[in-house]
């Protein structure tokens, strides 16, 4: 059996996240159906991450096992010929037997996009959060720096996502602006359920003066979801890079 890793990207607007769903359409459902059609055998894929409904991915990896002799270049071509326009495959590699798209992953980078202009842009609908108020990128960057390092992020986890171990290491949190588009990049060795979106909601509280930048250490110490900000909408979130 071959162990294959595929690199893809997708717009998540039409999907209930990446992970396979029984009663709704997820990205995994669509890719597995396409691979089954191509290889003439049932295929189960393992994704590098779960994503929420509406979240996008610029870089996403999945792995699967198959006895199909179709070369990687042929699989890429075949997949792109039948996948819908909001999913694309850009690479395919035969891996050693121990590789697993999820468990071999060392970390990820997410980007959250905020369109900071008075009037919304219809071409960014479901692609970025429209935030029409003044956004002080320096202020939220200062707050974000308190979240870097190794911490218990229970305060920044959705109520249904808490685990026995909620400690994660955030290696980088930076804020950039290009004209009206503000991006918050967060890299970590792993993420809790809704972690990035709750961080963004909390940073917007800081921007609006409801919290101070140096409140972040106390929020971490509380380990209580009620202490952090709202969960930002999913459609502004992109899985940007995956590290192996």
User: Which of the residues are catalytic?
Assistant: 52
As beta bridge partners, residue 129 has 114
d(CA 89, CA 199): 30
Which residue has tokens 């396979």?
A: 20
Q: What pLDDT score does 159 carry?
A: 85
Helices marked H in the chain? 27-39, 72-82, 137-145, 195-207, 216-222
Q: How deeply is 202 buried, as exposed, middle or buried, from its count of CB atoms within 10 A (0-12, 13-18, 19+)?
A: buried
- Specify which residues 89 forms β-bridges with: 8
Instruction: Specify whether the CB–CB gap between 172 and 241 falls below 8 A.
Output: no
Rounded-to-integer distance, Cα 35 and Cα 64, Å? 10
pLDDT at residue 161 in the model: 81
How many Å apart are CA 167 and CA 152, to the nearest integer? 4
Residue 95 burial by CB count (10 A; 0-12/13-18/19+): exposed, middle or buried?
middle
Tens of pLDDT along the chain (244 residues) come to: 999 999 999 999 999 999 998 889 999 999 999 999 999 999 999 999 999 999 999 999 999 999 999 999 999 999 999 999 999 999 999 999 999 999 999 999 999 999 999 999 999 999 999 999 999 999 999 999 999 999 999 999 998 888 889 999 999 999 999 999 999 999 999 999 999 999 999 999 999 999 999 999 999 999 999 999 999 999 999 999 999 9
pLDDT of residue 219: 97
- What is d(CA 73, CA 62) in angstroms, rounded to the nearest whole number? 16
Per-residue confidence (pLDDT) for residue 164, from 0 to 100: 87
Domains, in order of start, for the chain: 2-95 (3.30.70.580), 107-243 (3.30.70.660)
**Phi, psi at residue 210, to the nearest 5°?**
-75, -15
DSSP state of 208: T
Residue labelled with tokens 């009663």: 23
């Amino acid at each position: 059996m071959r162990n294959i890793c595929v690199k893809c990207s997708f717009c998540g607007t039409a999907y209930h996240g990446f992970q396979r769903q029984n009663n709704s359409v997820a990205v995994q459902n669509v890719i597995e159906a396409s691979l089954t059609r191509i290889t003439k055998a049932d295929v189960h894929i393992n994704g590098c991450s779960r994503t929420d409904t509406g979240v996008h991915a610029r870089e996403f990896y999945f792995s699967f096992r198959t006895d199909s002799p179709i070369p990687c270049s042929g699989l890429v071509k075949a997949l792109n010929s039948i996948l819908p326009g909001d999913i694309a495959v850009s690479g395919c590699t035969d891996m050693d037997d121990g590789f697993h798209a999820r468990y071999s992953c060392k970390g990820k980078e997410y980007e959250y996009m905020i369109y900071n202009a008075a009037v919304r842009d219809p071409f960014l609908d479901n692609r970025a959060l429209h935030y029409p108020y003044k956004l002080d990128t320096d202020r939220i960057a200062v707050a974000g720096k308190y979240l870097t390092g190794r911490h218990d992020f229970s305060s920044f986890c959705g109520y249904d996502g808490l685990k026995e171990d909620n400690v994660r290491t955030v290696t980088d949190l930076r804020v950039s602006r290009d004209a009206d588009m503000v991006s918050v990049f967060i890299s970590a060795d792993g993420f809790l359920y809704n972690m990035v979106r709750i961080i963004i909601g909390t940073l917007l509280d800081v921007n609006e003066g409801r919290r101070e930048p140096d409140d972040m250490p106390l929020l971490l110490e509380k380990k209580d979801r009620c202490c952090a900000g709202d969960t930002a909408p999913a459609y502004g979130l992109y899985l940007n890079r995956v590290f192996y």
